[in-house]
Structure 1
Amino acid sequence: MRVVLDGRIILPRMSGAGRYVVELARRLPPLDPALRLDVVLLPVLQRTGVPRLLEDAGARVVYCAARVLTVRQWAAIPRLLRRIRPDLYHYPHFDLPAVPVPSVVTIYDLNPALLPGYFTRQPTLRRWVAHRLVRSTLRRCRIALVISETVRELLERHFSEGRGKARTIRLGVDPTHWSAASDSGAEAEPLGDERRWRSRPYVLYVGVERPHKNLIRLVRAFARFHGSGQWSQASAPYLWLAGVGAGSRQLRGELQRLGCAESVRLTDALTEPLLIRAYRGARVVAYVSTSEGFGLPILEALAAGVPLVAGNASSLPEVAGDAATYVVPADEADIARGLALTWWDEALRRSLVDRGKRRVGEFSWEATARHTLQAYVDALR
């Protein structure tokens, strides 16, 4: 069986979706000696270690400059597939091009099609386009993989085309990669603002800035928490938003209004060594989204042994299980309560860390790959 796995969603700074494709591509070839796996990457990744990592695992790497969610890919991908002539094409996004071979897709979440606030520019038009793309993709694919039961239920409720095609395959985590047993963080180069924040304890958020990530409420809750304590200069906590860049005008304005801009650290997405170090150094990880397809930073935080504060909505309880302090995402006071409780209560912190270690044992990339391989076989029957 020859499969083309489209990895153009992988970028030099790894996202959750990119990590999913990398881990699949690393683990699929050893599962079946008869599987020939071609992974499509963007040319920009030639300067990274990703191609070598995948080739060492047994995959063949090919390049395509057309990005996902572009008109250009609708010509480039069919042309590439006609040249490779695979049995199956796996596209991990909701805008499947018109391809000449059977296809499997992965849908991480339905936020672009269902959330009114997801797009900031031309929201009505762009949500309508996303909705149409999801419908078209579900009609044409043979199997639609989703990464949580939350997404499957939404898909089957809102898209009749997906009923009978949706299959839940959860994401995984490698505990040794994120835990203190790993030495990957040793190579981390400090960020330019390191001196300013060094030695101060922090609450960590990992991810992009989108309305459903609930960052405005998170910073308001942090301001409440920060204002409720009597801190020395060395012990005063800060909130690290890793992955938001300089922040939107709305976010920066809110920080100024709250008077806490000096206690919130905004950075770009972190390199892998820096991300490992950031998790390990955090006193609390906060993830209070209102809508998620999965929430991979939750598993990463649990694997790193960090107490977690999570929203009690969407897929987050499905992922975190009993290993989080849950808060109501729409209630800033409740988020602040959860931060304070998880910051100060040492017995709770120890319990959360222990439960987190047990919880991550229920997720593995090997299981993700094994179930995905079975989906490939089923799609070709």
Structure 2
Amino acid sequence: MKSIASKTIAFNGKFFGAAPTGVHRVAEQLVAATDALIGAQVGDGANYAVIARDRVAIPPYRNILCVRENPWVRRMHRIAWEQFYLPLARRKDFILNLCNLGPLLHRDSATMIHDAQVYSAPESYSLPFRLWYRFQFFFIGRRHRIIFTVSEFSKRELVRYGVASANKIVVVHNGCDHVLQIRPDGRQLAVLSLKPRRYVLALANTQKHKNIGVLLKAFTGAELKDVELVLFGGATQADFQNLGYFVPPNVRFAGRISDPELVGLMISAGALAFPSVTEGFGLPPLEAMALGCPVVAAPFGALPEVCGGAALYADPFSPDAWRLNIITALDDETMRQCLISAGLQRAGDFTWKRAARRLCEAVKNANGEFA
């Protein structure tokens, strides 16, 4: 780390060591891309550091210093660490929070709020979760100097629900090029007895806004009896059945799988289906596009903004529409090749380098170029 100025941009590293989520993965990619961006520039007038709890594994960065805070706080709850210890220990720094929440006591901060779904899709979250996030968002949106979000759709939603004013919100689209660095592992095809191009991937998620029920209904139809629906993620067949869903026999549950296994499944899939009725960004469709997998999505939330004209869109409330579009993506070779070509081009527009540059420019502007 270059000691150019006293100003430090401190990444809130609370997410390191926590159970992996999509939001945490975005944070990891943004920090790594920022590290690479710093290395490609001649000093920008600031120091960069990741502030992490003691004994938490951190990737080896070349240009961002890892600061492990005092061992005596290791037993402190993660929320208490973030809300009290971090702002006091780094009171002279600009704190950058990438995972929705941040220290309320520290005004000299920027926080990335990925979506407004605790307002727009409350039924997908428990009451304590909703109340905690709404409480945090109310103060973060008013106290922190910048609110980052991941799409123009999310920006409009955050304004709509009164989280922050539009002039305070900066959109930083996610990247998807990380999937190109993952070596695919195709073992799941054998484990699940799958035939290449004769299965469709989707999330195993019971949250109402993810709308997986429409796919379960679509796959009960005779038109898809020879096509498998492969659900990856934490939700099980019993979880869906306990909520009253009928799970047809051509549905396979892959469970929680590694990134190489997911890449292996995407490369050989007939399509990725993404029927969410709201989404702050929607990274899996872009990841699939980058790997040459056609996408069928719902025209809701940020999905049209992210997928553009590179996906087939289906009414999220019509199983028949999903059957028709899935059959088209699998069996209409002309349309399939158009989707693959358009998807590769679309995915190429979303890189972590571009995201990191946008993030850093906004932070620099907020800090007067560190002058």
Work out the percentage of aligned pairs sharing the same amino acid.
24
Give how far 1:96 is off. Answer: 2.6
Query: Paired residue for 2:160, among 157, 162, 171?
Result: 157
Aligned residue pairs total 354
Give how far 1:334 is off. Answer: 1.3
CA distance in 1, matches of 2:17, 2:275: 25
Query: Paired residue for 1:267, among 229, 254, 264?
Result: 254
Query: Does the Cα contact within 8 Å between 2:203 and 2:212 map onto a contact in 1?
Result: no
- After superposition, the Cα gap between the structure-2 partners of 1:12 and 1:352, relative to the gap in structure 1 and judged at 3 Å, is farther
CA distance in 1, matches of 2:314, 2:65: 42
> Which residue in the other structure is 1:345 paired with?
332
> Which residue in the other structure is 1:316 paired with?
303
CA distance in 2, matches of 1:183, 1:249: 30
- Aligned positions of 1:132-281 closer than 5 A: 132-159=135-162, 161-174=164-177, 177-179=178-180, 184-185=183-184, 188=185, 190=187, 194-199=190-195, 201-206=198-203, 208-224=205-221, 227-228=222-223, 236-247=226-237, 249-251=239-241, 254=244, 257=246, 260=248, 262-281=249-268
SS at match of 2:353: helix
> Which residue in the other structure is 1:39 paired with?
50
Letter of the structure 2 residue corresponding to residue 306 of structure 1? C
SS at match of 2:102: coil
Give how far 1:9 is off. Answer: 3.3
- After superposition, the Cα gap between the structure-2 partners of 1:266 and 1:78, relative to the gap in structure 1 and judged at 3 Å, is same
Give how far 1:87 is off. Answer: 2.2
Letter of the structure 2 residue corresponding to residue 217 of structure 1? V
TM-score (norm. length: structure 2): 0.84
CA distance in 1, matches of 2:18, 2:80: 24
- After superposition, the Cα gap between the structure-2 partners of 1:45 and 1:270, relative to the gap in structure 1 and judged at 3 Å, is farther
- Aligned positions of 1:7-156 closer than 5 A: 7-9=13-15, 14-32=20-38, 33=43, 34-41=45-52, 46=57, 51-52=58-59, 54-56=60-62, 58-60=64-66, 62=68, 73-84=79-90, 87-100=93-106, 102-119=108-125, 121=126, 123=127, 126-156=129-159
TM-score (norm. length: structure 1): 0.82
Structure 2: give runs of 5+ residues left out of the alignment. Answer: 1-6
Structure 1: give runs of 5+ residues left out of the alignment. Answer: none
Query: Does the Cα contact within 8 Å between 1:144 and 1:162 map onto a contact in 2?
Result: no
- After superposition, the Cα gap between the structure-2 partners of 1:114 and 1:360, relative to the gap in structure 1 and judged at 3 Å, is same
Letter of the structure 1 residue corresponding to residue 173 of structure 2? R
Give how far 1:169 is off. Answer: 1.2
Letter of the structure 1 residue corresponding to residue 199 of structure 2? Y
Q: Deviations over 1:204-259 (max 9, x none)?
A: 014643111101112111222xx225x6xxxx32111111342563446655x35x
SS at match of 1:144: strand
Give how far 1:97 is off. Answer: 2.3
- After superposition, the Cα gap between the structure-2 partners of 1:307 and 1:72, relative to the gap in structure 1 and judged at 3 Å, is closer
Give how far 1:40 is off. Answer: 4.1
The answer to whether the aligner puts 1:380 opposite 2:331 as a matched pair is: no
Give how far 1:297 is off. Answer: 0.5
CA distance in 2, matches of 1:43, 1:167: 32
Query: Paired residue for 1:300, among 268, 275, 287?
Result: 287
CA distance in 1, matches of 2:15, 2:237: 22
Deviates more, 1:363-372 or 1:57-66: 57-66
SS at match of 1:371: helix
Give how far 1:72 is off. Answer: 5.1
CA distance in 2, matches of 1:336, 1:43: 51
